[in-house]
Chains A and B, each alone.
Chain A
Amino acid sequence: MPQSAEKVLDHAPLFREPEYKDMLAAKKANFECGVSDARVTEIADWTKSWDYREKNFAREALTVNPAKACQPLGAVFAAAGFERTMSFVHGSQGCVAYYRSHLSRHFKEPSSAVSSSMTEDAAVFGGLNNMVDGLANTYSLYAPKMIAVSTTCMAEVIGDDLHSFIQTAKDKGSVPQSFDVPFAHTPAFVGSHVDGYDNMVKGVLEHFWKGRTRSEVKGKVAIIPGFDGYCVGNNRELKRLLDLMGVDYVLIGDASDQFDTPADGEFRMYDGGTRLEDVAGAQDAEYVLSLQSWCTRRTLEYAATFGIKTASFHYPMGIQATDELLLKLSEISGKPIPAEIERERGRLVDAMADSQAHLHGKKYAIYGDPDFATAFTRFVLETGGEPTHVLSTNGTKHWEEELQPVLDASPFGRDATIYPLKDLWHMRSLLFTEKVDFLVGNSYGKYLERDTGTPLIRLTFPVFDRHHHHRFPLWGYQGGLRVLTTLLDKVFDTLDRETMDPGVTDYSYDLTR
C-alpha cells in the first residue's frame, strides 16, 4: 500500500509506485491488445524523419493540433472590454460553456457569457424565440448596460438574421428600444478567433457610430488593443505610457480590469471596460490605431469610411516596435516622448546589452496568432537570435508576404522559413528535422517540448499550465524587459539542467553568468 496519511501521494508520485506499475503493465499485457513495443518505437522513429515530414506536409484535409480557435471566442473576449457588457451568444449552448471555460482557464478569472440555448426545434424553425426570451432574461438577471450578441456556427448555418431578431425582441419588450444591443455575425467556419474579435469590435462601433455626427478632435486617438491573452498587463502598461505622454486617448475595448478583479469577498460580474459614451466619442478621434493589425482589418476599414485616419501595428513588443508606436503617438498628439520613457528604453537596451552573449545566435521556432508571431520574430532579431520556423495556423499567405521582408532585412533572419496555415503537428516535424534551441508559443506547445525535447517558452494565449503570466506586460520597454528575462531564464535553466550531472557534466555548472 503506497498511500499513507502522513505523506499523501497525489497522482504524480502515486502511480510511480511498484503496485501501480505492475497493475498497469498487466493491463497492457493482458487486455489492451496493443502493438508491440518494437513496432511503437519503429513508428515513433519514423515520425521524426524527413520522409514523415514530407507526408505530413502533403496533408490537404486533416488538421492536427491547430493553434487557433473559432470566431465567437474572439467576440466574447472583445465584448468583455466594454463597460457592464454581457456577451450573448446566439446558438447552441455548449459553445458558450467552452468559451467561458477557455477564458477562465487562461486568466484564472470568472468569464461571464450567456447563450440563447438553441436546440433541435430552433434548428428547424429558427432561433427568433430564443432571442426574444433570451434577451429578456439576460436583461432582467444580470443588469447589464449593454448586451453584445454574436453567433455560433449553428445560427449561421440556418441563417438567423441578428439585426431583425434583435429589433423584433425590442419591439416585443425584451429590452427597452434604446438599450444597446450591438451584434456581430461570427461563423466558426470562417477565419478564427482574431476575426471574431474584429467583427465584434466593428459591431460595437457600428452600433454607436452609425447615424452619429462626427466632429473631429485633433490629436485624439482611439486605440484598439486586439485579441490579447496578456491584456491585463499589456493594457495597463499601454495606459501608463499614454498618460506619461499626455495623449488624449480612448481604448476601444479594455478587458484589463474585467479579467483581473480583486478577491475581497465580492464577486464583480462586471469591472472596468471602456465606457459606452467613450465608445461613441471615439468616432471624433483623429486617428484609430490598432495594436494588432490582423485582429482589426474590418474595423479599421469601417473607421476609415468616416474619414478617420488609421494606422496599425503588430503587437508592440521589443525596442523597434515600441519605438514605432511611440513615434506615431507623438506625431498624432504633437506631444514629445518624455525623458522618463526614453530612460526606460535605455534601460531595456542596457539589459539586452548585458545579456546579448547568451541570446546571440540562439535558434527559435515561433508560433501563434499572426500579430504575435510577427512581433516575437522582430524581438528575436533584435537580440541577435535566429528565428528558424515561424508558423501560424490562422496566418495566411498574405501574412507571410508581409513578414518575409522583415526577415530579409536582417542577417539573423536569412535562414528562417514562414509557415502560414500550418498546425502544431507540422511544427512537430519541423522540430525533429530542423532542430532549434527554443520553442515559443502557448501551453499547447508542451506536447512539442515533450516529443522533441525543445524547451518551451510560453508567451501567448492560452497559458493554462502556468499561473499569472498575463498579469505582467509584454508590451512597451517594460514589457520587453519581461520578455527578455523570460527568454534568459529559459536559457539558464536549460543550461543548468544540462550541466547538473555531478562529476559528469557539472564542470560548466557555473555560479556566475
Chain B
Amino acid sequence: MSLDYENDGEAMERIIEEVLDAYPEKFAKRRKKHLSVATPAGEAEEHGEVKPLTECDVKSNIKSVPGVMTIRGCAYAGSKGVVWGPIKDMVHISHGPVGCGQYSWSQRRNYYIGKTGIDSFVTMQFTSDFQERDIVFGGDKKLEKVIDEIDALFPLANGTTIQSECPIGLIGDDIEAVSKKKAKEHGKTIVPVRCEGFRGVSQSLGHHIANDAVRDWVFENKGGVEQNPDTGFVPGPYDVNVIGDYNIGGDAWASRILLEEIGLRVVGNWSGDATLAEIERAPKAKLNLIHCYRSMNYICRYMEEKYGISWMEYNFFGPSQIEASLRAIAKHFGPEIEEKAEAVIAKYRPLVDAVIAKYRPRLEGKTVMLYVGGLRPRHVITAYEDLGMEIVGTGYEFGHNDDYQRTGHYVKKGTLIYDDVTGYELEKFIEKVRPDLVGSGIKEKYPVQKMGIPFRQMHSWDYSGPYHGYDGFAIFARDMDLAINNPVWGLMKAPWKKDAEPAPTLVAAE
C-alpha cells in the first residue's frame, strides 16, 4: 500500500510547512517549533558516551495549543494511570468526580498476580464520587469516611493512595492532613498525591508528582506509620530494582526472568505487579535499572543522592538492545554476572535467529511511524530494525528535552520528529508519508486503519504482549507481521471503483 517514498529530509521539511498552513498564523508559529527533521549530530563527542546519530531538536514539555486534538493526557493520568495504579496491594482512590476513575479503570494492562478485591486492587475503581455538595462544602470529611470504609471492607489492603482530580486542588481540600490523621488511626500507609489534571502540561508532571509522593510519603514516611519494617530481609550483592516497567501484557515478567537468569535478584518491580513492600525496600538494592526514564528518573536520582544507589537505563526491546543492555548491566556487577549474561545471550540466540529468519523476510524494508509516550518513541526503534524495518517518523506525547536528546542515539538522519503532535498533523503526516505501519494509541488507531494503513497500539500492545525481553520479541515480531500482512488491507477499494488498485499479492501466513 505504501507509496514510493524516499527518506529525504527536504521532503519532510516541505510536509511540515504544508501541515502548518492550516493553522492561524500565531499557532502555526508555535507549532513549528515542535516539528522537525533529524539532522546529523554535531562533531563534538561527549566524553565517554556514545555519540548520538542525529540531533532531534524540537521544543517540548510546553502547553498544548487550545482547540486542537492533542493526544496528551493529564497529571492524574500520569500518577494514577501510570505510576501508582499498578501497585497491587494498595487501594488507589480516584478522589473527586466519578469520571477520571471510570475512564482509567482497567485500561492499562498492568498484569498482576493476586486475588482482586481481597489482596489486590489494580483492576478496580475506587472513587469518592464527588457531588455538588462536596464541591461546595469541601471533601475532606467524605475522604476520611472513604478511607474508613476501605479499611472495613478491604482489610488486606496494605495502604491507600489519594489521587486528586481537578476539583480537589481548586477547592483547597487538605488531603495531606487527612492522610496523616487516618494513617495513624489505621496504622497503614496513606499517600496523598496532588496530581490534579490541570497541573502541568501533560501526564508528565503527574509522573514527577507521583515520584515525589513516593519520596515523601513512603521513603521519608511523612505519614508517620512504619508499616513493613524489613524483618528478615537480608540484602544481597546482586539486588536490583526494576524501575519504570509497568508490566503491560506481562512485560516486567519477561524482563525479570532474564535478569534472574543472569544472576541478579530483583527485589522491587516499579510498579507493575508491585507491592508496597517492594517500594519500601528499594533503597536497600545495589542498582536501579530504569526502563521508562521519563516516568521514574526523578526517584532514581533521589535514591542516588540520598542512598547512594546508582542507576542505569536499559532497553529490553529487540535482541540488539537486549544484548547490549544485558552486557552493560552485567558489567556493573563484574565477571561472574558477565559470564552468565553471555551464557544467557547465547542461550536465546537460536530463538532470536529463528524469529528473525521467519519474520524478517515478511517485514524487510517496511516503514514505520511512531507516536507514543515515555520511552517507546525511541526504545522500540531498534527492535523494528532487527526485523529489517525502518522508522521514518517518531515523537513523544509528553517528552522533555532530554528525551529528544536520547532519541538522537536511535534515529537516522531525515526522520520526521514531532512533539505533542495534534490529531490533524499526525493524520496529514501519515497521509503524505504513507508508512507501512503506524504505532500509536487507541485514539489514533481507527483513523489510521480507515486510511488503509496497518496499525499497532504501542501503549497497550493491542491487547497482546509482552514485548519486552526475548520472549516478548517473538510476540512483537509476530504482531508486526500480522498487522502488516493481513489480507484485509488489500480489500479496501471496491473493484468497480475506477481508481482501484489491484489487491497486492500477499505472502500467506504460515
| In contact, B146 and A70 (Cβ under 8 angstroms) | no
**Which of A37-45, A205-213, A304-312, A398-406 sits within the interface?**
A37-45
| In contact, B198 and A122 (Cβ under 8 angstroms) | yes
Name the one of B99, B156, B170, B447 contacting A73, with C-beta atoms under 8 angstroms: B99
Q: Is the C-beta of B316 less than 8 angstroms from some C-beta in chain A? A: no
- Which residue on B lies nearest to A262, using beta carbons? B450
CB distance from A102 to the nearest CB of B (A): 5
- The distance in angstroms between the C-alpha atoms of A28 and B127, with both chains bound, is 28
Q: Is the C-beta of B119 less than 8 angstroms from some C-beta in chain A? A: yes
Q: Hey, what's the 0/1 contact readout for B68-92 against A, CB within 8 Å counting as 1? A: 1111111111000000000001000
| In contact, B257 and A19 (Cβ under 8 angstroms) | yes
Tell me which of B105, B146, B347, B446 has the highest count of chain A C-beta atoms within 10 A of its own C-beta: B446
Set of chain B residues within 8 Å of A4, measured between Cβ atoms: 351, 354, 474
Set of chain B residues within 8 Å of A110, measured between Cβ atoms: 443, 446-447, 450
Q: Is the C-beta of B325 less than 8 angstroms from some C-beta in chain A? A: no
Q: Is the C-beta of A177 less than 8 angstroms from some C-beta in chain B? A: no
CB distance from A430 to the nearest CB of B (A): 15
Name the one of A47, A56, A68, A118 contacting B102, with C-beta atoms under 8 angstroms: A68
| In contact, A63 and B126 (Cβ under 8 angstroms) | yes
CB distance from B388 to the nearest CB of A (A): 15
| In contact, A66 and B351 (Cβ under 8 angstroms) | no
**Which of A5-13, A319-327, A505-513 sits within the interface?**
A5-13
- The distance in angstroms between the C-alpha atoms of A91 and B171, with both chains bound, is 16
Answer whether A97 and B71 are a contact pair too, CB < 8 Å, given A265-B451, A451-B117: yes
Answer whether A153 and B166 are a contact pair too, CB < 8 Å, given A133-B65, A138-B68: yes
- The distance in angstroms between the C-alpha atoms of A241 and B424, with both chains bound, is 38
Q: Is the C-beta of A100 less than 8 angstroms from some C-beta in chain B? A: yes
Q: Is the C-beta of A217 less than 8 angstroms from some C-beta in chain B? A: no
| In contact, B156 and A35 (Cβ under 8 angstroms) | yes
| In contact, A153 and B67 (Cβ under 8 angstroms) | no
**Which of A186-194, A222-230, A469-477, A479-487 sits within the interface?**
A186-194
Set of chain A residues within 8 Å of B200, measured between Cβ atoms: 119-120
| In contact, A154 and B277 (Cβ under 8 angstroms) | no
Tell me which of B115, B153, B268, B471 has the highest count of chain A C-beta atoms within 10 A of its own C-beta: B471
- Tell me the B385-432 residues at the A interface (CB within 8 Å): 422-424, 427
CB distance from A331 to the nearest CB of B (A): 39
Q: Is the C-beta of B355 less than 8 angstroms from some C-beta in chain A? A: yes
Answer whether A33 and B228 are a contact pair too, CB < 8 Å, given A117-B66, A190-B131, A263-B452: yes
| In contact, A119 and B201 (Cβ under 8 angstroms) | yes
Set of chain B residues within 8 Å of A93, measured between Cβ atoms: 64, 70, 72-74, 197
Q: Is the C-beta of A55 less than 8 angstroms from some C-beta in chain B? A: yes
- The distance in angstroms between the C-alpha atoms of A268 and B165, with both chains bound, is 34
- Tell me the A136-184 residues at the B interface (CB within 8 Å): 136-138, 140-142, 152-154, 157-158
Q: Is the C-beta of B464 less than 8 angstroms from some C-beta in chain A? A: yes
| In contact, A154 and B452 (Cβ under 8 angstroms) | no
Name the one of A9, A10, A105, A135 contacting B442, with C-beta atoms under 8 angstroms: A105
Q: Is the C-beta of A267 less than 8 angstroms from some C-beta in chain B? A: yes
| In contact, B152 and A55 (Cβ under 8 angstroms) | yes
Set of chain B residues within 8 Å of A269, measured between Cβ atoms: 447
Set of chain A residues within 8 Å of B116, measured between Cβ atoms: 447, 450-451
Q: Hey, what's the 0/1 contact readout for B155-184 against A, CB within 8 Å counting as 1? A: 110000000011101110000000000000
- Which residue on A lies nearest to B231, using beta carbons? A33
Q: Is the C-beta of B128 less than 8 angstroms from some C-beta in chain A? A: yes
Interface size class of A (residues with CB under 8 A): 35 or more
| In contact, B153 and A59 (Cβ under 8 angstroms) | yes
- The distance in angstroms between the C-alpha atoms of A71 and B273, with both chains bound, is 33
| In contact, B24 and A140 (Cβ under 8 angstroms) | yes
| In contact, B123 and A447 (Cβ under 8 angstroms) | yes
Q: Hey, what's the 0/1 contact readout for A1-25 against B, CB within 8 Å counting as 1? A: 1111110111100110001100110
- Tell me the B126-140 residues at the A interface (CB within 8 Å): 126-132, 134-135
Name the one of A5, A55, A133 contacting B67, with C-beta atoms under 8 angstroms: A133
- The distance in angstroms between the C-alpha atoms of A27 and B66, with both chains bound, is 46
- The distance in angstroms between the C-alpha atoms of A144 and B357, with both chains bound, is 49
Set of chain A residues within 8 Å of B448, measured between Cβ atoms: 267
Interface size class of B (residues with CB under 8 A): 35 or more
Set of chain A residues within 8 Å of B465, measured between Cβ atoms: 10-11
Q: Is the C-beta of B348 less than 8 angstroms from some C-beta in chain A? A: yes
Q: Is the C-beta of A460 less than 8 angstroms from some C-beta in chain B? A: no
Tell me which of B75, B105, B447, B448 has the highest count of chain A C-beta atoms within 10 A of its own C-beta: B447
**Which of B3-11, B35-43, B248-256, B295-303 sits within the interface?**
B248-256
- The distance in angstroms between the C-alpha atoms of A291 and B422, with both chains bound, is 37
| In contact, A120 and B98 (Cβ under 8 angstroms) | no
Answer whether A15 and B253 are a contact pair too, CB < 8 Å, given A23-B260, A63-B129, A136-B24: yes
| In contact, B76 and A94 (Cβ under 8 angstroms) | yes
Q: Is the C-beta of A130 less than 8 angstroms from some C-beta in chain B? A: yes
- Which residue on B lies nearest to A59, using beta carbons? B149
Q: Is the C-beta of B63 less than 8 angstroms from some C-beta in chain A? A: yes
Q: Hey, what's the 0/1 contact readout for B259-297 against A, CB within 8 Å counting as 1? A: 010000011110001011110010000000000000000
Set of chain B residues within 8 Å of A388, measured between Cβ atoms: none
- Tell me the A340-393 residues at the B interface (CB within 8 Å): none
| In contact, A135 and B67 (Cβ under 8 angstroms) | yes
- The distance in angstroms between the C-alpha atoms of A461 and B153, with both chains bound, is 28
| In contact, A69 and B451 (Cβ under 8 angstroms) | no
Q: Is the C-beta of A98 less than 8 angstroms from some C-beta in chain B? A: yes
Q: Is the C-beta of B51 less than 8 angstroms from some C-beta in chain A? A: no
- The distance in angstroms between the C-alpha atoms of A113 and B477, with both chains bound, is 33
Set of chain B residues within 8 Å of A8, measured between Cβ atoms: 355, 474-475, 477-478
Q: Is the C-beta of B27 less than 8 angstroms from some C-beta in chain A? A: yes
Q: Measuring CB to CB, which residues of chain B are less than 8 angstroms from any residue of chain A?
A: 22-24, 26-27, 63-77, 89, 96-100, 102-105, 107, 111, 113-119, 123-132, 134-135, 142-143, 145-146, 149-150, 152-153, 155-156, 165-167, 169-171, 197-201, 203, 228, 249-250, 253-254, 256-257, 260, 266-269, 273, 275-278, 281, 347-348, 351, 354-355, 357-359, 422-424, 427, 441-443, 445-452, 464-466, 470-471, 474-475, 477-478, 488, 492-494
Considering the complex of A and B, which 5 residue pairs feature the smallest CB-CB distances, nearest first?
A94-B74, A134-B67, A70-B99, A33-B277, A98-B103
Q: 7 A-B pairs, CB-CB below 8 angstroms?
A: A4-B474, A8-B475, A60-B145, A69-B102, A73-B99, A154-B167, A263-B452
